[in-house]
Amino acid sequence: RGAKYIVVHPYFLAPGRHWHEHIPELARMAAQKHPQTACVVTPPLGIHDAMVDIMATRIENALSPTSEITHE
C-alpha cells in the first residue's frame, strides 16, 4: 500500500528465458494494476563481477585441509 517503487530482483545466476521474458511480463502486468507505482527488474546476480570472487572463495574453502568435505 502506497509504494512508489517496486524492485524485482531475480535470484538467478544467469539471464535466461525467465529473466528475459517471463519476469518482465509479470512485472508489466502487475504495474498495469498500479499505474502510480514504478516497477523495475534488476539483472540477475551472476552478471555482477563479485560473483566470481564469491565462487573462488567457496572453492578455496571447500578444498582447504580443514574443510568438512571428504578429500579423495
pTM over 0.85: no
**66: CB partners within 8 A, 6+ apart:** none
Domain residue spans in the chain? 5-63
Say yes or no to pLDDT of 72 above 60. Answer: no
pLDDT (0 to 100) of residue 51: 87
Query: What is the tens place of the pLDDT at every residue in 14-57?
Result: 888 998 999 999 999 988 999 999 999 998 888 788 988 998 99
> If pLDDT is split at 50, 70 and 90, which confidence band does 70 have?
low
